[in-house]
Amino acid sequence: MDLLTAITSLSYRDSVLSIIGTGLLVHWIFKRTETHEPIYLAILLLGIPTIMTGALISHSATFLTAVISTFSIFWTTLSTSIIVYRLSPWHPLAQYPGPMICKITKFWFAFLSLKGRQHIYYTELHAKYGDVVRVGPNELSFRTPAAVAPLMGPAGLAKGPFWDGRVPEQEKVKPMIALRDKKEHTRRRRPWTRGFSSAALKGYEPLITARCQQLVEVLSNQVGAVDMSKWMGYFAFGGGSEMVREGADVDGLWELLNAGQVNAIFMSHVAWLGALFLRWPGFFAGKDLKAFRAHAQKCAIARKKRGTQAHKDLFHHLIDEDGVATNPPSVFEVVSDGGLAIIAGSDTTSSALSNLFYYLLTNPKTYQRVRAEIDELGDDVMDYGKQIHLSYLTAAINEALRLLPPVLSGSQRATETRSEPHAVGPYVVPEGTAAFVPFYVLHRDPRCFAPFPDSFIPERWLPAEKQIELEPGLFKDQSKVVTDVNSFLSFSTGPSNCVGKNLAWMEMRMLACLLLQKFDMRFEDGYNPKRWEEEMLDYFVMLKGRLPIVLTPRK
């Protein structure tokens, strides 16, 4: 007797039990594999219940009734089994607290993320549930300094499934930031390390100086308030664009980048769905990011053909034009990482600079102290060798990065399926579990930064004697002062930290020095500074509102 004959000969009771059994079997398969392949999903979710429809045909008035009944029983069983298991005491994460809806499905968080307020929601969750919160069926959020090294340090975990929903699984070469294989990530990072070495950075100084001077010249000709957030984006954008000169995003690149983030964050939270949708360009989600990546790849290809001009840029090292690499990067790797270079060098730097000027103008005393320190450089204001010794400017930048890190919700890691549990301090991350530290939340934890962790106080980054000299009321009692540099994660930490950190510091210092030396700054009349943080959106990439600032040339 073949399978189909056996199915169609079942009694009604046995037919229903068989359909229920297949639903439970599919749940077991999903739990073991978490497959993203469309063909397997189609077989498991559509093919199996279609076959099982034969069991109810002889017990139904019509074929359609049999189909509806079978699929209803199958999917109800599958859904119920998943929900019961995820809420049960047998689930590996049962010991960790969190909202019931988060334990049941990641769709809840995916929908919440569309509002762009993830960082605020994580703050609220940790305030309610404590240091470890179950934010998904198989995901934990850690608000404790003890989690930093075990998750992101040298012996930490690989990247999590977050990136599976943002980058097509079938893409020939994924960008370095999306690599989940630690060995492959280390190999791909080597050209970047050369590109951000001390010698390479020295060669970038003339390029950055010229770009800073170009921006100052253009801003000098603006009438009325300028949107500093927009102009910081123009300044930071790489890839051969001339946004500063044009005074506009003529190619609509920022619009493409920003427009794609809403769908991308949803797909990141439901990675299997994102991986499915990304297989069909332009379908439902991802078309804006695909268009942006296409532009970035075009720029990378053009740069490779053009070769190095007067100065060696980052692409000189990514392409290995010096021929120092034992295994030179393939053209696919160059093109893939080209997009990463443009995004990483624009969004994060522009966010950090915008936030710096916002905090300076909302804290006049700090603004005056920073500018006084910069003015001491005089004609050497663009000498980076002297800029790095501006301790108060450095403290102000650090404090802006602490309060509003460019990646607000942190970087996800994960244990592999069928791996050993991973210890995170007194906690355990079971196999197949994603985990992360939300940077925005940890940076405002009084165990890491005190006093007043929610306030902009650059002095906390200075030596104790300088703290007491400048702000005795805040720092006289040093027993209450905490500045935990190991919990400062604006550039992440460990093997997957921001490889371009030193270049970002160079850009931030050089532009801040020149702008603050050349201009007096104030908010546009009628602007409420509270809007800045209220309008800030967390889509992994930070989306910002207007920052209207009036610039007056200094005499």
Query: Within 13 Å of residue 41, how many CA atoms lie on the same side as its CB?
Result: 10
Contact 236, 353 (CB under 8 A): yes
Instruction: Check residues 541 and 269 and name the one with the higher pLDDT.
Output: 269
Mean confidence (pLDDT) of the chain: 88
Structure tokens at 291: 């268009």
So where are the chain's domains?
3-87, 176-448+484-553
* Number of neighbours of residue 183 by Cβ within 10 angstroms: 9
pLDDT of residue 171: 64
Whether 513 has a binding-site annotation, put simply, is: no
Structure tokens at 243: 């946004």
- Average pLDDT, stretch 453-474? 97
> How many whole angstroms separate alpha carbon 506 and alpha carbon 322?
24
> How many whole angstroms separate alpha carbon 315 and alpha carbon 388?
25
> How many whole angstroms separate alpha carbon 498 and alpha carbon 481?
28
> Radius of gyration over alpha carbons of the chain, in Å?
27
Q: Which fold has domain 176-448+484-553?
A: Cytochrome p450 (1.10.630)
pLDDT of residue 125: 98
pLDDT digits (tens, 9 = 90+) for 127-146: 999 999 999 999 999 999 99
pLDDT digits (tens, 9 = 90+) for 492-523: 999 999 888 999 999 999 999 999 999 999 99
Contact 460, 483 (CB under 8 A): yes
Q: Would you call 423 helix, strand, or coil by DSSP?
A: strand
Length of the chain: 555
> How many whole angstroms separate alpha carbon 229 and alpha carbon 548?
8
- Average pLDDT, stretch 159-178? 78
Partners of 436 in the β-ladder: 141
* Number of neighbours of residue 89 by Cβ within 10 angstroms: 6
Q: Which range, 301-305, 454-458, 491-495, has the best average confidence (pLDDT)? A: 454-458
Contact 55, 18 (CB under 8 A): yes
Strand 434-436 to 139-142 pairing: parallel
pLDDT digits (tens, 9 = 90+) for 61-86: 788 998 899 999 999 999 999 999 99
Task: Write b or e for each residue in 221-243: b if 16 or more Cβ atoms lie within 10 A of its Cβ, otherwise e.
Answer: eeeebbbbbbbbbbbbbbbebeb
Which run of H or of E encompasses 552? Answer: strand 548-553
Q: Would you call 49 helix, strand, or coil by DSSP?
A: helix
Maximum CA extent, the chain = 96
pLDDT-above-70 percentage for the chain: 90
The structure tokens 């290809």 sit at: 301
Structure tokens at 228: 């500093």
Find, among 490, 395, 444, the residue nearest to 126 by Cα: 444
Q: What does the DSSP assignment read for 187-243?
A: HHHHHHHHHTSHHHHHHHHHHHHHHHHHHHHHHHT--S-EEHHHHHHHHH--TT--H
pLDDT of residue 342: 67
> How many whole angstroms separate alpha carbon 540 and alpha carbon 436?
13
Contact 464, 478 (CB under 8 A): yes
pLDDT of residue 325: 75
pLDDT of residue 170: 59
pLDDT digits (tens, 9 = 90+) for 394-450: 999 999 999 999 999 999 999 988 888 999 999 999 999 999 999 999 999 999 999
Does residue 284 register a pLDDT over 90? no
Q: Which residues fall within 8 angstroms of residue 546, CB to CB, at 6 or more apart?
A: 227, 229, 230, 535
> How many whole angstroms separate alpha carbon 455 and alpha carbon 164?
36
